[in-house]
Chains A and B, each alone.
Chain A
Amino acid sequence: MIRLFIGLFIALTGYTYGQNCNNTFLGEIKDFHDKSAIASATIYIKEKDKYLVSDFDGKFKIENLCSGTITLTISHIGCETKTVSYQISNHIAKTVFLEHHLEELSEVVISSNLKTENTSIERSLNKSTLESFTDKSLGDALNSISGVSSLNTGNTIVKPMIHGLHSSRLLIVNNNVRMFDQEWGDEHAPNIDINSSSRVQVIKGASSLKYGSDAIGGLILIKPKKYAVKDSLFGSSMLSLNSNGFGGNINSELIKTFKSGYYTKIQSSYKQFGDFRAPDYHLTNSGIKNFNASARIGYNSFEKGFDAYYSVVNNELAILQSSHIGNVDDLVLAINNKQPRVVEDFSYNINYPKQSILHHLGKIEAYKRFKALGKLSIQYDIQINRRKEFDVRRGDFANKPVIDLRLFTNTLQSNLHIDFIDNLKIDTGVLGRYQQNDAISGTGASPLIPDYDKYDASIYAIGNYKFNNNSEISAGMRYDFSRIEAKKWYYETDWQVTYNYDELFPEFETNTIDNSKILTYPEFTYHNLSANLGFSKQFKNDMSLFLNYGLATRTPNPSELFSDGLHHSAARIEVGQLTINKEVAHKIMASFERKNENFGFVISPYYKYIYNYIQLIPVGTTTTIRGAFPVWEYDQVNAQILGVDIDVNKKISNTLNYIGNISLLKGDNLSDDTSLIHMPATNFTNSISYYNQDLNQLSISLKNKTVLQQKRYPDYNFYTFNPILQEDVYVDISSTPSTYSLFSFNSSMTFKAFKEGHLKLEFNIENLFNTSYREHLNRLRYFADELGRNFNLKIKINY
């Protein structure tokens, strides 16, 4: 009761003295990061409708203030405008912190440099490029960057490759979440909907330590868009139709942003294609069905924020029926026939063999900024990947998957970005991860990958120091702990005789033996160190030089350790080895660049030396009940990869522009003095485009891509005895297809539509001359030609 009275008293006196107008406000404006004074900031006093400017020490003074509320809006060039309110009842002194890093909050103001790190060597694809691949895969889109190619299985399973390296050697980071989707296998493509991202960066050199230690090939960053802090509702829809495969894609996204800093986005896409067509025949059973959805919600302010994201990708991918083979004689027949074994009329049906994959990704991230320190982010993410591979089977097993694996991964990680020191930025963080693989029973086949649990822990620190406006250096270190605990049944003959594991790994054995199989618990622990060093220097005339060195260490993935048995969609027996050790790579890369509209270029030579490079190579055949069957084994060699990527752009006239690039690469197996398997051949692209802003942004371009025959390949050909023909047959699995050159035509126009929106029309032709060709990096090249001509129409509406 007494308190209430006191409260009332204070309130009343406050009111009575409210008309006191002798108060003074002493203000000081400082930088949030380094606490330095901000001079010449504009201070707008709302109640007085008056402007002030801060002095050299960042200070300002407002006199003769009446009691009550005072609202100040403080702005300064390069800073986020800030509005603050105070209750004035007496003389008051306050410090206001302003933020210099405006680009973090809004894309409206963007510096020309969007790189993850100033010293890294990287290329990126923006939203409009990604949109032209709306009905294709991430791998197809990346393929347009020099030095990036893909390892394909047919035309819908596209696995990106950087400098000839793929799978576990590429880190794919989607929305700051490292993808874990059983990317080990050659025909396991990343499960990412290209439509859900607004920017894709390919980092060829350095700058990857924040995400992992094993980016021997490089890093692919798929980034969402940052939204402006304002009240807005907008979206877009896109429809793409194709003549080849009689299918297409529809994608819609809707975004709502609020002035308060909240934002939300939903996006969904559906894609369907029937059998595709090579110039001379239908590729029976090559269609695809794909559904994706993603949702995002977050809050974005300078001092704190959060972001929650969820996406689901559901893929059903047909695998060319003709690629299903029973034994090596079937393979020889396919190679010699030049025509697929099964050619039927067009159909939307997806029959066996096929893959069916469901991938969930969810994450929640929150950040807070601390004065005179930096930004702390904490993120938890979860991924569930369910992969089913169906084969052509008999009887009760006809509709059961032959491979059925469920991979669960969850990660908790933090990053502290320290930026209060002038010219020095430090990123440091820790990570903990648990992964579980479940080889789901009921497949009627021994699992290719066994059940396992995997534990990871990491710590890293990366520093970036700016000598002056022209040169920067960055250095980083990372330590990774990794432990894998598997449970696997081996045939006793394999365990004891074929691989001699009973002597090498007696500690893994149990006494459980069932049906001539022995139960084992293989366990491996790894300690990995990795490091990066980067340097960049800007010269006159828009020229710059980048130098990167990286030490990367990769632990063997589960397929390299444990694969065992028939990989049906690969038509081969794949055998992993428990004796496989980790891979260690030294990467050196330089890049000399000129960023200029009129004439620009990038020349990036690189050299990689990889100790214990793990490769999957054909080693011959094994006699099975199906006859001789191709066997591929994982082994380790010392390898080197060297090459150069060159990009050139030249403005011919105001409306004509030329872009070209060439990638040269040589991969050597130093241990066996031969070439490395599956290395991309020399390829070059030339394109000429016409653009007229005044004519509804008309754009017309003609592009040519030439891939030379890969002459450097290891010869793993062999002879096998065919009992029907009663003769030795030559199995030519190594020879590469000849050079091909493809032309494509692109055109687009943009029209005003509705009040604020616009409509974009695109018409494209791929493989303009309907050329028949085969690509050496397509695993189905033995069985059929690549795709023929395709007419494509895209309609995009922004609203």
Chain B
Amino acid sequence: MKDLKSIKTIKILALLLISSLTIVSCSSDDDGDHHDHDHDHDHEEELITTVNYTLTDGTNTVTLTFQDLDGEGGTDGVTTVSGSLAANTMYSGTIELLNETEDPAEDITVEVEEEGDAHEFFITSTISDIVVTKTDTDENGNPIGIISTLETGAVGTGSLTIVLKHEPTKPNNGTATGAGGSTDVQVTFPIDVE
């Protein structure tokens, strides 16, 4: 009798154990397609592959581009500058962030703009008389930097760096280092002022 009883108990237990595991393992998944073990890799990646800084003085346009299509790791990104800037000229500039692994490319700038109070661009140059002024603002009236003006001075050669900070202190002292937060974008372009 005892044998029978213990076998019965084992059966009930095994059943309980298996059923509870099945329930839990199935219910805790909040994505749809993982049961298909052969599912495809994620197409929708949150990735910034491309930074475009387009500068125009009304007639001439200079584009600074950084592109790293395989994301973090892998091969290094590539910097291209379409031409040189003219001396003593006022340019209006727009920054565009793209995810080009998607087709059509996803415009990440929109998200940055939507969360403007948690983001800020910092644009600096080693050519000391270049003056960059951020002209757009977030909901609190602090600068974001998607739209800016860039004024060149004398002829020179150097570099220009664009930094995007996530969750910086706002308002801040105007420098990327002083703003804190974590860096989402930091790209450097060689530039000429002729």
Interface residues of A (CB under 8 A from B): 260, 262, 297, 299, 304, 306, 308, 310, 312, 324-327, 329-330, 333, 341-342, 358, 360, 362, 364, 366, 382, 384, 386, 392-397, 404, 406, 408, 436, 438, 440-447, 451, 487, 489, 491, 493-494, 497-498, 514-517, 564-566, 573, 575, 622-627, 629, 631, 723-726
Q: In the complex, which residue of chain A has the Cβ closest to the Cβ of B30?
A: A442
Quick one: closest B residue to A566, CB to CB? B72
Q: What residues of B have a CB within 8 angstroms of the CB of A516 in the complex?
A: 69-70, 101
**In the bound complex, how far is the Cα of B163 from the Cα of A397, in angstroms?**
21
By Cβ-Cβ distance, the 7 closest A-B pairs, closest first, are: A326-B183, A627-B186, A395-B111, A326-B182, A723-B188, A444-B46, A491-B70
- Partner-contacting stretch, out of B9-17, B138-146, B147-155: B9-17
B36 CB, nearest partner CB in chain A, Å: 10
New contact pairs (10) apart from A441-B34, A629-B72, CB-CB < 8 Å: A260-B2, A308-B14, A326-B166, A366-B10, A382-B21, A396-B111, A497-B75, A573-B73, A623-B76, A625-B66
> Assuming A308-B17, A446-B42, A724-B124, is B115 touching A394 (CB within 8 A)?
yes
Interface size on B, residues (CB 8 A): 68
A392-B13 contact given A325-B183, A625-B49, CB 8 Å threshold: no
Contact between chains at A394 and B177 (CB < 8 Å) = no
A240 → B minimal CB distance (Å): 28
Say how far B116's CB is from chain A's closest CB, in angstroms.
12
Contact A326 B184 (CB under 8 A): yes
The answer to whether A310 and B17 have CB atoms under 8 Å apart is: yes
Instruction: Find the A residue at minimum CB distance from B48.
Output: A625
Closest chain-B Cβ to A435's Cβ sits at a distance in Å of: 13
With both beta carbons as reference points, the residue of chain A lying nearest to B6 in the complex is identified as A299
A14 to B92, CA, bound (A): 115
Say yes or no: B76 contacts A625, CB within 8 Å: no
Report the minimum CB–CB distance from B178 to chain A (whole Å): 10
Complex Cα gap A622–B108 (Å): 22
| A–B pairs, 6, beta carbons within 8 Å | A326-B166, A362-B21, A394-B111, A395-B111, A493-B70, A493-B74
CA distance A362 to B163 in the complex (A): 50
Q: Which chain B residues in 23-51 approach chain A with CB under 8 Å?
A: 24-25, 28-29, 31, 33-34, 37-46, 48-49, 51
Q: How distant is the Cα of A625 from the Cα of B49 in the complex, in angstroms?
A: 7
**Contact, CB under 8 Å: B77 / A489:** no
CB of B68 within 8 Å of the partner chain: yes
B66 A392 Cβ-Cβ under 8 A: no
Query: Which B residues are CB-close (under 8 A) to A491?
Result: 70-71, 74-75
Query: B115 near A308 (CB under 8 angstroms)?
Result: no
User: Do A440 and B31 contact each other (CB < 8 Å), given the known contacts A395-B111, A445-B46, A626-B72?
Assistant: yes
How many whole Å from B190's CB to the nearest CB in chain A?
A: 11
Contact A364 B186 (CB under 8 A): no
Q: Which residues of B contact A395 (CB under 8 A)?
A: 46, 108, 111, 114-115
> B184: which of A447, A622, A626 is its contact (CB, 8 Å)?
A626
Nearest A residue to B114, CB-CB: A395
CA distance A362 to B122 in the complex (A): 54
Among A438, A441, A446, the most chain B Cβ lie within 10 Å of the Cβ of A441
Whether B62 is near chain A, meaning CB under 8 Å from some CB there, is no
Tell whether B193 is near chain A: CB-to-CB under 8 Å.
no
B126 nearest CB across to chain A (Å): 6
For the complex, give the distance between the alpha carbons of A358 and B29 in Å: 11
1/0 contact string of B115-139 vs chain A (CB within 8 Å):
1001000101010000000000000
**Minimum C-beta distance from A175 to chain B (A):** 13
Closest Cβ neighbor of B101 among chain A residues: A515
Chain B residues with Cβ below 8 Å from A324 are 182
Inside 8 A of B40's CB, which chain A residues have their CB? Answer: 441
Most buried by B among A397, A406, A625: A625
Chain B contacts for A329, CB-based, 8 A = 183, 186
Q: Is the CB of A626 within 8 A of B75?
A: no
- The reply to whether B73 and A330 form a contact with Cβ atoms under 8 Å apart is no
Chain A residues closer than 8 Å to B172, beta-carbon distance: none
Chain B residues closer than 8 Å to A494, beta-carbon distance:
70, 73-75
Residues of A within 8 A of B73 (CB): 494, 564-566, 573, 575, 622, 624, 631
- Nearest A residue to B67 by beta-carbon distance? A625
**B115 CB contacts on chain A under 8 angstroms:** 394-395
User: Is A438 within 8 A of B77, CB to CB?
Assistant: no
A393 interface neighbour in B17, B41, B46, B177, Cβ under 8 Å? B46
Other-chain residue from A310, A444, A497 in contact with B44 (beta carbon distance below 8 A):
A444
- Chain B residues lying within 8 Å of A441, measured Cβ to Cβ, are 31, 33-34, 39-42
Q: For the complex, what is the distance from the CA of A494 to the CA of B75, rounded to whole Å? A: 7
Q: Does B159 contact A (CB under 8 A)?
A: yes
What chain B residues lie within 8 Å of A342 (beta carbons)? 180
A726 touches B126 (CB 8 A): yes
Q: Using known A-B contacts A306-B6, A395-B111, A625-B66, determine if residue A724 contacts B72 with beta carbons closer than 8 Å.
A: no
* A299 CB contacts on chain B under 8 angstroms: 6, 9
Number of contacts between A and B (CB, 8 Å)? Answer: 187
**A364: nearest residue on chain B (CB-CB)?**
B14
The reply to whether A297 and B13 contact each other, CB–CB distance below 8 Å, is yes
* B176 close to chain A: CB less than 8 A: yes
Contacts of B37 in A (CB 8 A): 436, 438, 451
Q: Which of B34, B49, B73, B122 has the most CB of A within 10 A?
A: B73
- Write out the residue numbers on chain A whose beta carbons fall within 8 Å of the beta carbon of B186: 326-327, 329, 625-627, 723
- Please name the residue on chain B nearest to A326 by beta carbon: B183
Bound-complex Cα distance A487 to B10 (A): 38
One of A438, A498, A627, A723 near B75 (C-beta < 8 A): A498
Within 8 A of A (CB), among B170-194: 175-177, 180-188
Question: How far is A723 from B177 in the complex, measured between Cα atoms in Å?
Answer: 12
Q: Is the CB of A625 within 8 A of B21?
A: no
Q: Which residue of A lies closest to B10 (CB)?
A: A306
Residue B157 lies at the interface, judged by CB distance under 8 Å to chain A: no
Do residues B77 and A624 form an inter-chain contact, with CB atoms below 8 A? yes
Residue of A nearest to B75 (CB): A493
Docked Cα-Cα span, A565 to B71, in Å, equals 9
| Interface residue? B161 (CB, 8 A) | yes
B20 at the A interface (CB under 8 A):
yes
A445 cross-chain contacts in B, Cβ below 8 A: 42, 45-46
Which of A366, A392, A443, A626 has most chain B Cβ within 10 Å? A626
Q: How far is the CA of A360 from the CA of B159 in the complex (A)?
A: 55
Cα A324 to Cα B184 in complex, Å, equals 11
A444 touches B182 (CB 8 A): no
Contact: B10 with A364, CB < 8 Å?
Answer: yes
**Partner of A443 from B10, B33, B42, B48 at Cβ < 8 Å:** B42
Residues of A contacting B46 in the complex (Cβ-Cβ under 8 angstroms): 393-397, 444-445
Tell me how far the C-beta of A323 lies from the nearest C-beta in chain B, rounded to whole angstroms: 10
| Closest CB in chain B relative to A507 CB, distance in Å | 20
Q: Which residues of B lie under 8 Å from residue A726 when comparing CB positions?
A: 126
The docked-state distance in angstroms from the alpha carbon of A396 to that of B10 is 48
> Does the CB pair B34–A724 fall under 8 Å?
no
Asked whether, in the complex, the Cβ of A622 is within 8 Å of the Cβ of B161, the reply is: no
B39: A residues at CB distance < 8 A:
441
The interface residues of chain A lying within 8 Å CB-to-CB of B165 are 326
Docked Cα-Cα span, A626 to B188, in Å, equals 10
User: Which of B159, B180, B183 contacts A626 (CB under 8 A)?
Assistant: B183
* B112 within 8 Å of A (CB atoms): yes
**Residue with the highest number of chain A CB atoms closer than 10 Å, among B41, B74, B76, B112:** B74
Tell me the minimal C-beta distance from A291 to chain B in angstroms: 13
CA distance A723 to B125 in the complex (A): 9
- CB A500 to nearest CB in B, in angstroms, measures 14
A308-B13, A360-B21, A517-B41 known; A623-B161 Cβ under 8 A: no
| A447, B42: Cα distance in complex, Å | 9
Tell me if B167 counts as interface (CB < 8 A to partner A). yes
Whether B187 lies near A627 (C-beta < 8 A) is yes
The one of B17, B24, B34, B111 that contacts A440, using a Cβ cutoff of 8 Å: B34
Closest to B7 in A: A306
Task: Enumerate chain A residues within 8 angstroms of B42, measured Cβ to Cβ.
Answer: 441-447
